[in-house]
Structure 1
């Protein structure tokens, strides 16, 4: 692995874990009142496009980090649906 791949994985790791505190808080409190669904819809769309781009470019760090981010942010959307206003 060269330093560019390591840099990509490190950058992706940082952006991937950014949503974890919000997931944890929402899951623990079972509330998502102050979370914007539109922001997560746009983010999930962007992440899906990044994964597709990574596949086309055969870019492992892009595929891996954005794929994991896609799963985590999709889970956050699930929590918003589950705990959203009834």
Structure 2
């Protein structure tokens, strides 16, 4: 594995796990009033497109990191819908 592959994986992991603190806070407090659903929708569209791009390039790190990020951001969007009344 070359250093550029490692760099890409580290970058992918960082951007993938970035939403975890927000998910944890929303889950714990059940408050999502100040979180923008529009931002998460646009982000999820971008992540989906990255997954498609990764598939066309047969690039497993792009597919994996963006696929996991898509799922995590989907969880956050679900929490925003679930707790929007709180």
**TM above 0.5:** yes
What is residue 72 of structure 1 aligned with on the other side?
Answer: 72
- Where does structure 1 lack aligned partners over 5 or more consecutive residues? none
Query: Which residue of 1 is the match for residue 29 of structure 2?
Result: 29
Q: Match for residue 84 of structure 2?
A: 84
Shift of 1:45: 0.3
Aligned residues: 86
The secondary structure found in structure 1 opposite 2:35 is coil
Unaligned runs of at least 5 residues, structure 2 = none
Calculate the TM-score normalised by the size of structure 1: 0.95
Name segments (4+ residues, structure 1) moved above 2 Å.
Answer: none
In structure 1, what is the equivalent of residue 41 of structure 2?
Answer: 41
Within 2, Cα distance between the matches of 1:5 and 1:58? 14
User: Scaled by the length of structure 2, what TM-score is found?
Assistant: 0.95
Shift in Å, 1:60: 1.2
Please provide the CA RMSD for this pair. Answer: 1.1
